[in-house]
Structure 1
């Protein structure tokens, strides 16, 4: 088996300077086989999760590729996320591959939540469309991003605002009270299910969208109220975001997934815990990432601008990405050359990583 070289990459951002302690805003680890530099390399980034040691990096390096597990300055810093800033910093990684690593073909790997992020990157690179969030200046660095040559969506969600809305608990009646509840919408009240009837599901989904819209209304009003004050933004917390009915009731969109389970364990415990997506936001990061109305982090509009050859891989036992997500991503892609593949495993592919690496390797080599 070929030896693997792992190189730390720390680079400046076009938007902010190096940290006082010395760290570069853009950081990652480049995995490659020993010997001649590979001509094809992957880059993977996420809104918040550290991808520098991505679980597929070594497997794809063993198969002759470069793999840059890349982090923008928002790694572990989701509360302050701004899409246009993140795209500029992904562009730093893509340029490094082309200009310094000797790579001729770049494969954009959109994994998990990173699916919509990397779709937004390619979309902006081929047809600039991303605008600044309210009150922010345009980011010149996103007007000329180097595009990827191939696109892969792996166990990918349908977009940040869609995922949060599908997961959020609409029975919250007071956003400042983590225990407030409308019994008629409580997913953990046995009177409501599981199993959940069609009428309850319809009311529940409508109430989830309504909760998202209420928070957006409030965020816009709060920003307006801050004008003329000493503050430009403010932090707020978001409670109870592990309550997708599909997590609890396996009869809704059946799959190979474990029933009554989510990425944080049993949904009722996760929902009332302190670890959740969107749990801490600023007004502007809510509008940039989570709002159904204003976020540009939905995958579908960006996928519609992607014409590069594209592969979608869905894990059929994924706890929180469902068959409809994968088929939605596949259907939204504008690529004439696109493929949808399935593997029986959970979200992080703990049992099938070599198999998925082989699948990706074969697909890339065909092109």
Structure 2
């Protein structure tokens, strides 16, 4: 049997909510009547991981599993990396001091891959700085490090993912329908299939769009200096347009063609649900900007030396083989392993297999 304990803790930067709720919340899964010596913690930038799909499977194999949420769960628009790392540290410390875990495994799943990499990176070699105009968070200067690191169906970082997915044909950031026909990925005249010249222009235009938004954000912050407002909300349209979502001949895999996480990319791209669709000026700089974000995985992976496992789902709709290999290559760990599972992003058909794989890898270490 599995015991599930609710865990609610104050956030180091934010304390406790006035209504009584704890900003940091999660569910600790463990074998009934036992205090596991090894425990996992999984956290995401935005998605609720309290009932993570591997929690029960790993608890059934004798581990503790804390599905943990920072105060930015469901509130991506206001995300700040240094604040989130402080909240994750609260969960890791709870595992060691209250749950009795002697060994902590950092599980970076999906977008959480780069987030948990940033956590371990900061814990072993402090490097994360506040976003422009924000005060330092003292709690991140003394984070308890993890003992093992796992990247599971993980993206290569928030600014990289947004840029790879964004539609560069947008000509007016205030108009969701504006489009440059020569870059429109859904114009049949451009493909699919998309020829190498179009792909090169498209990728360059995606990066250029990210940089234009960063220029605008920095100018807006300068304009707000001395006014009554310190920050502002804005929207980013059309972020489901990675050419690989549309053309399966680009980086072929076991994925279903013409699909993204929200189904048909054309419909999703012009819908209202998308990563980075709403954010503040400072959240853009903290999470999404290629120029200023510290949420890119590679620099943090280069500071991770603990044994590390990378697991790639070969039918993943939006994480590709190149992502997994880039993560594997960037890890500084001498003891690192790359494994593959034939399934889609959330492993709906292979969770026991994934749990067995992870269990065997952890026990060997």
Question: Per-residue displacement from partner, 1:177-204 (whole Å, max 9, x unpaired)?
Answer: 0000000000000000000000000000
1:170 is aligned to: 168
Report whether the alignment pairs 1:313 with 2:315.
no
Give structure 1 stretches of 5+ with no counterpart. none
TM-score (norm 2): 1.00
Secondary structure at 1:30's aligned position in 2? strand
1:232 is aligned to: 230
Tell me how far 1:21 sits from its aligned partner: 2.0
In 2, distance between residues paired with 1:181 and 1:71? 37
Question: Which deviates further from its counterpart, 11-20 or 330-339?
Answer: 11-20
2:338 is aligned to: 340
Secondary structure at 2:202's aligned position in 1? helix
Question: Which deviates further from its counterpart, 10-19 or 142-151?
Answer: 10-19
2:188 is aligned to: 190
Secondary structure at 1:42's aligned position in 2? strand
1:199 is aligned to: 197
Report whether the alignment pairs 1:127 with 2:125.
yes
1:36-55 alignment, distance < 5 Å: 36-55=34-53
Match of 2:139 among 138, 141, 155: 141
2:9 is aligned to: 11
Tell me how far 1:19 sits from its aligned partner: 1.5
1:104 is aligned to: 102
Report whether the alignment pairs 1:349 with 2:347.
yes
Question: Which deviates further from its counterpart, 319-328 or 33-42?
Answer: 33-42
Report whether the alignment pairs 1:259 with 2:296.
no
1:75 is aligned to: 73
In 2, distance between residues paired with 1:306 and 1:348? 25
In 2, distance between residues paired with 1:330 and 1:36? 34
Tell me how far 1:295 sits from its aligned partner: 0.0
Tell me how far 1:361 sits from its aligned partner: 0.1
Secondary structure at 1:335's aligned position in 2? coil
Secondary structure at 1:13's aligned position in 2? coil
2:217 is aligned to: 219
In 1, distance between residues paired with 2:255 and 2:331? 26
Tell me how far 1:22 sits from its aligned partner: 1.5
Report whether the alignment pairs 1:21 with 2:34.
no
| Deviant stretches of 4+, over 2 Å | none
In 2, distance between residues paired with 1:304 and 1:138? 23
Tell me how far 1:35 sits from its aligned partner: 2.0
Give structure 2 stretches of 5+ with no counterpart. none
Secondary structure at 2:151's aligned position in 1? strand
Tell me how far 1:326 sits from its aligned partner: 0.1
Tell me how far 1:17 sits from its aligned partner: 2.4
TM-score (norm 1): 0.99
Match of 1:57 among 51, 55, 58: 55
1:293 is aligned to: 291
- CA RMSD, 1 decimal: 0.4
In 1, distance between residues paired with 2:33 and 2:284? 45
Match of 1:33 among 23, 31, 34: 31
Tell me how far 1:228 sits from its aligned partner: 0.4
Question: Which deviates further from its counterpart, 17-26 or 209-218?
Answer: 17-26
Match of 2:245 among 241, 244, 247: 247
Secondary structure at 1:85's aligned position in 2? helix
In 2, distance between residues paired with 1:168 and 1:101? 42
Tell me how far 1:36 sits from its aligned partner: 2.4
Secondary structure at 1:162's aligned position in 2? helix
Tell me how far 1:42 sits from its aligned partner: 0.1
